[in-house]
Homo-oligomer: A and B are copies of this chain.
Amino acid sequence: MIFDVTVEVRLRPGIADPQGATIERALPALGFDGVQDVKVGKSIRFTIDAESETAAFAEVEDLCHRFLTNPVIEDSVVTIAAGASA
């Protein structure tokens, strides 16, 4: 079966986020007040061919830890949905 996967990679709490800080500093000059705690992460979407949703989840978790994230500074959130069948 083919599954649609979304992996959101975020910086772990306490890790400096210069991209987010820059956006937050720029917003008042553009007239957007009241925006706070800006954090910028990555969103990675792909499809995976696996036997079951459990197998797909295990493979994606492994992929996140080995390749898509740096586990020292980043967390990942995996979302899996059934896609078009193979």
Contacts and interface: CB of A to CB of B under 8 A. Distances in A.
Interface of A: 8-10, 20, 23-24, 26-27, 30, 32-50, 59, 63, 66-68
Nearest to A59: B32
A34 B36 CA distance: 40
Contact of A47 (B23, B33, B36): B36
B44 A63 contact: no
A86 B29 CA distance: 23
A41 B30 contact: no
A23 B63 CA distance: 11
B10 A63 contact: no
Contact of A67 (B9, B20, B30, B33): B30
